Structure 1
């Protein structure tokens, strides 16, 4: 049976962590073993008490200072023993309780050709109070996801990206502090030999993270990452496309999210 390591990073977010762990506890594990890893950045609120309440669910946890979000996520990678890694941070959630069965179950079409290195899918965006806003406006690539797909930006949400641990590097915390997830996804896709679209909504992502709050600095990092992977000319064209899309959004008053299908 395949083993999936779900890594949850948290700091001073007791209520959000409670929702996430409650969601993970409800997952159907008939087709996959679940390893829940919680990395707490030395929280001073009720987070440690929540971790204590869910100790029967949690395989590994640590509460200590860290060097930021991606340093904490690296701790989760190092602690993981599963075949696959899945980052579902505090406030986020797995979309449906049967998702592991639908991906890894013996009768699943996704399992018919053997295990893939990467599984990906859609993401439902929610407000901090849990209200569903809709699917991410940025669509998954129609021809299938590759490392070159991210020239269009973060076309796949980090929370809807399940990767084989053997092909996943650590996050580059030396160079990036706000957009290291984009670099990490690109690197995972470069190393993957098989990448599979699940056709499923995989996660619920709560909007309002670090990159959202520090958007300009995050965009500068994204520029650096894209230029390193794709070159200057391709990155210039891609950013011209981003600006054009923003102008069209305003002109046509397009909604920020897509309807849930």
Structure 2
């Protein structure tokens, strides 16, 4: 790489890409390759391994020349590992990638949208199991019901160095953090860029009982009682729609004559 190339890189935002892994030998190579092959070059790769024993460390060694930081030690779970990434990262923005996710070659497109150092930028993902799209622009009301995909979020240094993930949530601590940040008035900007292929069959797909117990409290703390009422209303309406749909399906299934008139 010549001097001019290095000089140009220095003028662009530095993006930290954090990968947390534990016994992920089947997928970690693909995840790392997707990062290494980015056209955008001003990145650092931070891998925090939970003490794998399945060959993951051998794969990490193969990519060692590309890794800015690599540590392997026992941790208290995925968000403890992510908090370690936050402490090690130096980038202007930080995005997390699971060991079974793939980062699309679009970091350069996201960086083009980064006009303010204190904004959380986010885009879209593709579900790995179905190829379905997930994303779009989020409002407070939409965030009450669903989360912005972690693998499409770029947290600025002012955020990831100030707010850690709450370890009492095993799978949805990032959701709790996003609700908190929205409530604090941290600006979120939708980039309309497809960022990654997300393994939607991973741990977070199991749900998080502790998060669900705390959801109303989190909403109230961040947005106030009015949004608690909105959430309850929306959930009740959604359940009624589902029940009505099931009722109609059963009715139509039993009544061929009625089906002819609908």
Tell me which interval the TM-score lies in, with the shorter structure as reference length.
Answer: 0.7 to 0.9
RMSD of equivalent CA atoms: 2.6
Write the distance in 2 (CA, Å) between the matches of 1:231 and 1:88: 32
The match for 1:125 among 116, 127, 146 is 127
| Separation (CA, whole Å) in 1 of partners of 2:116 and 2:207 | 41
Query: Is the 1:117–1:192 Cα contact (8 Å) retained in structure 2?
Result: no
Distance across 2 between alignment mates of 1:40 and 1:72:
8
Match of 2:136 in 1: 140
Structure 1 residues 69 and 205 mapped into 2: Cα distance closer, same or farther (>3 Å)?
Answer: same
Spell out, residue by residue over 1:33-78, the C-alpha distance to the aligned partner (whole angstroms, 9 max, x if none).
1110111111111111111111011110111110111111000000
Bigger Rg, which one: 2
The verdict on how the C-alpha distance between 1:147 and 1:21 changes in structure 2, with shifts beyond 3 A counting, is same
Look up the match of 1:165: 157
Of 3, 6, 9 in structure 1, the residue corresponding to residue 14 of structure 2 is: 3
| 1:193-233 CA distance string (max 9 Å, x none) | 54322111112110123232245444224344324323455
- For 2:72, the equivalent position in structure 1 comes to 63
Q: Does 1:203 align with 2:214?
A: no
Whole-angstrom distance in 2 between the partners of 1:45 and 1:221? 35
1:159 deviates by: 0.9
Structure with a larger share of its residues in helix: 2
Q: Report deviation, 1:240.
A: 3.8
- Consecutive unaligned residues of structure 2, counting only runs of 5 or more, are 1-11, 247-262
Q: 1:190 to 1:214 in 2, by over 3 A?
A: closer
Tell me the TM-score normalised to structure 2 length: 0.78
Deviates more, 1:36-45 or 1:180-189: 180-189
Alignment-derived partner of residue 3 in structure 2: none
Q: Counting strand residues as a fraction of each chain, which structure ranks higher?
A: 1
Report the number of matched residues: 232
SS at match of 2:189: strand
Other-structure match for 1:94: 103
Task: Go from structure 1 to structure 2 and tell me whether the alpha carbon gap of 1:246 and 1:12 turns closer, same or farther (over 3 Å shift).
Answer: farther
Q: CA deviation at 1:241?
A: 1.4
Taking the aligned partners of 2:217 and 2:77, their CA distance within structure 1 comes to: 20
Change (3 A) 1:40 1:243: farther
Cα distance in 2 between the residues matched to 1:249 and 1:34: 45
For 2:95, what is the secondary structure of its paired residue? strand
State the Cα deviation string for residues 125-177 of structure 1 (Å, max 9, x = none).
112xxxx43012xx534xxx4666522331x211111111112311122x433
| Range 21-30 or range 80-89, more displaced | 21-30
The equivalent position to 1:25 in structure 2, one of 24, 36, 39, is 36
* 2:91 corresponds to: 82
Quote the Cα distance in structure 2 between the aligned partners of 1:192 and 1:80: 24
TM-score, normalization by structure 1: 0.78
Q: Please give the residue correspondences for 1:237-256 in structure 2 after superposition, counting only pairs within 5 Å.
A: 237-245=230-238, 248=241, 251=245
Aligned position for 2:260: none
Deviation at 1:188, TM superposition (A): 3.9
